[in-house]
Amino acid sequence: MAVEIKYVVVRKGEEKMTFASKKEADAYDKMLDMAEVFCDWLSAAPLDMDENQREALGMFLSENKDAVQQILRTSKMPEAEQARPVVSAVETDEADAEEKKPKASRIKAA
């Protein structure tokens, strides 16, 4: 019999995601904390957004925090590889396969 340890991120009594490592679970929990802060901050903004839009935008900003930091630091868009927004917390097999290809095979000929 095998013993597996799973780390579950729970918010407001709801399971959000399960991870195999504590480090990944902590990183996801931190991202959710950041998304919540962004959502609260956006609610004070003079914008007409409903709660779902604020939550979605807060999550998008927290998932792409490196790009946001780059823009705030330099007032420029990040490089193409950095600027690619996160699709979701759960990556698809197709995206994983694309990432595993050598960079040379992803470059299109001119």
pLDDT of residue 14: 87
Specify whether the CB–CB gap between 62 and 38 falls below 8 A: yes
Task: Say which residue, 102 or 71, is predicted with more confidence.
Answer: 71
Question: How confident is the model over 83-99, as pLDDT tens digits?
Answer: 556 555 444 334 444 44
CA dihedral 100, 104, 71, 47 (to 10 degrees): -60
Burial code (b: 16+ CB inside 10 Å, e: under 16) for 22-56 equals: eeebeebbebbebbeebbeebeeeeeeeeeeebbe
Tell me, what's the pLDDT at 87? 54
> Which tens digits make up the pLDDT trace of 24-61?
999 999 999 999 999 999 999 898 889 999 999 999 99
Q: What is the pLDDT of residue 82?
A: 52
Q: Residues with Cβ < 8 Å from 83, sequence gap 6 or more?
A: 67, 77
